[in-house]
C-alpha cells in the first residue's frame, strides 16, 4: 500500500462520522417535520444513504415518528439487514423498500415512504390518474408510476419489484397503500414530499370542479427552466427548519444546515 492510500484511509473515518451525524440530525428532523405537517403520520420512514457504501440510516419499527431522535436511528446495509443501532431496536418491516431502491438508483440519497390518504385515493378509483397540475410538480414530469401490489414491501423481492415500478421516476404510488418519494438529499426529500402532497390535494380539489387540466408539456418545460432546484430546496428547508425551531420541535443543537459538510 502506498502512502497516498494510507493517508486517505486514515482521514476518511473522521469526515465520515461528521457526515453521518449531520445525516442523523437531518433524518430525525425531516421525520418530525413530515409528521407535524400530517404527511408522515404514525407510520412511514425517511432514510438517508451513508457515504462510502456504508449502508443507510433508517428509524426502527417501533419508534414514534413524533419523537424520533438522531441517536435512535439504525444503520442497515443494502440487503436490508441491521448493521448497528441501539440494543433491542429492529428495522421496520418495509426496510426493503429503501434498500432495493438505493441499490439500483445511485442518484438517490434519501427516500421517504408514507401513507397519505388524499394522495392514495388516486389509486382507489377508476378516475383521473395523479399527474402534475401545480408548478412545482414539474419534478414528476417523467411520471408518477403506480405500483400494483398493495402489500407491505417487506421482502427483498417486493422491494425489487417496487424499484422496478419506480424506474427513473422521482415518486411512485403504491396502490391502496402509500407513496414513495426519492431525492438527492434529505432536504430535497422534505421539499418534494411537501410539493407531492400539495399537488395531489390540488388535483383532488380540481376533480371536484370539473375536468382536470394537468400541466401541458410546454408549461412543464417552461417552468422547469425557471426552477433553480438547489436554491428552492435551500429556501424551503430553511423555512421548515425555522418553523420547527420556533415550535420547539427540534433542538438548536442539531446540525440542520441544508448542505452536508
Ligand atoms: Zn407502507
What are the pLDDT digits (tens) for 15-55? Answer: 788 999 999 999 999 999 999 999 998 999 999 999 999 99
Residue 94 C-alpha to ligand 1 middle, in angstroms? 7
Contacts 24+ apart (CB under 8 A), 234-237: 234/187, 234/258, 234/259, 236/187, 236/190, 236/191, 236/194, 237/187, 237/190, 237/191
Model confidence band, residue 7 (pLDDT cutoffs 50, 70, 90): very low
- Checking if the pLDDT of 69 tops 60, the result is yes
Cβ atoms of residues 117 and 196 within 8 Å: no
Residue 56 main-chain phi, psi, to 5 deg: -145, 155
What pLDDT is stored for residue 14 in this prediction?
A: 60
What pLDDT is stored for residue 34 in this prediction?
A: 98
Residue 32 C-alpha to ligand 1 middle, in angstroms? 17
Cell reading at 125: 378509483
Average pLDDT over residues 192-202: 98
Model confidence band, residue 13 (pLDDT cutoffs 50, 70, 90): low
Cell reading at 63: 419508534
Cell reading at 173: 404510488
Residue 188 C-alpha to ligand 1 middle, in angstroms? 20
Residue 240 CA: distances (Å) to CA of 219, 246, 247, 251: 28, 10, 10, 14
Kindly report the pTM of this predicted structure.
Answer: 0.93
Residue 217 C-alpha to ligand 1 middle, in angstroms? 32
Query: Measured over all CA atoms, what is the biggest interatomic distance in the chain, rounded to whole angstroms?
Result: 69
Which has more confidence, 41 or 147? Answer: 147
Residue 66 CA: distances (Å) to CA of 46, 76, 100, 250: 13, 22, 26, 11
β-pairing, 171-174 vs 178-183, is: antiparallel
β-pairing, 171-174 vs 146-147, is: parallel
CA distance 178 to 42: 13
Residue 154 C-alpha to ligand 1 middle, in angstroms? 9
Residue 146 C-alpha to ligand 1 middle, in angstroms? 14
Residue 95 C-alpha to ligand 1 middle, in angstroms? 10
CA distance 252 to 241: 10
Dihedral angle, C-alpha 240, 35, 136, 236, nearest 10 °? 10
Determine what percent of the chain is predicted with pLDDT higher than 70. 94
What pLDDT is stored for residue 259 in this prediction?
A: 87
Determine what percent of the chain is predicted with pLDDT higher than 90. 89
Residue 28 C-alpha to ligand 1 middle, in angstroms? 18
Cell reading at 145: 408510476
CA distance 184 to 213: 29
117 burial type by CB count under 10 A (0-12 exposed, 13-18 middle, 19+ buried): exposed
What pLDDT is stored for residue 261 in this prediction?
A: 66
Average pLDDT over residues 79-97: 97
Residue 242 C-alpha to ligand 1 middle, in angstroms? 29
Ion ligand 1 neighbours, Cβ < 5 Å: 178
Amino acid at each position: 500500500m502506498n502512502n497516498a492510500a494510507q493517508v486517505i484511509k486514515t482521514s476518511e473515518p473522521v469526515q465520515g462520522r461528521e457526515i453521518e451525524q449531520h445525516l442523523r440530525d437531518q433524518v430525525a428532523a425531516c421525520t418530525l417535520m413530515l409528521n407535524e405537517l400530517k404527511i408522515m403520520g404514525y407510520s412511514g420512514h425517511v432514510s438517508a444513504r451513508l457515504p462510502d457504501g456504508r449502508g443507510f440510516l433508517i428509524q426502527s419499527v417501533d419508534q414514534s415518528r413524533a419523537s424520533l431522535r438522531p441517536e435512535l436511528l439504525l444503520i442497515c446495509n443494502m440487503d436490508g439487514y441491521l448493521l448497528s443501532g441501539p440494543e433491542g431496536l429492529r428495522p421496520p418491516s418495509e426496510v426493503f423498500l429503501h434498500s432495493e431502491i438505493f441499490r439500483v438508483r445511485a442518484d438517490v440519497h434519501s427516500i421517504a415512504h408514507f401513507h397519505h390518504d388524499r394522495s392514495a385515493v388516486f389509486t382507489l378509483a377508476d378516475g383521473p390518474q395523479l399527474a402534475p397540475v401545480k408548478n412545482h410538480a414539474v419534478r414528476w414530469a417523467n411520471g408518477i408510476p403506480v405500483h400494483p401490489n398493495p402489500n407491505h414491501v417487506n421482502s427483498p423481492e417486493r422491494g425489487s419489484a417496487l424499484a422496478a415500478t419506480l424506474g427513473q421516476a422521482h415518486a411512485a404510488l403504491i396502490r391502496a397503500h402509500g407513496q414513495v418519494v426519492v431525492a438527492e438529499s434529505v432536504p430535497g426529500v422534505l421539499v418534494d414530499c411537501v410539493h407531492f402532497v400539495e399537488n395531489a390535494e390540488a388535483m383532488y380539489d380540481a376533480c371536484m370542479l370539473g375536468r382536470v387540466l394537468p400541466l401541458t408539456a410546454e408549461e412543464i418545460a417552461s417552468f422547469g427552466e425557471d426552477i433553480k432546484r438547489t436554491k428552492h430546496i435551500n429556501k424551503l428547508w430553511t423555512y421548515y427548519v425555522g418553523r420547527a425551531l420556533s415550535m420547539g420541535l427540534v433542538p438548536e443543537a442539531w446540525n440542520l444546515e441544508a448542505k452536508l459538510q
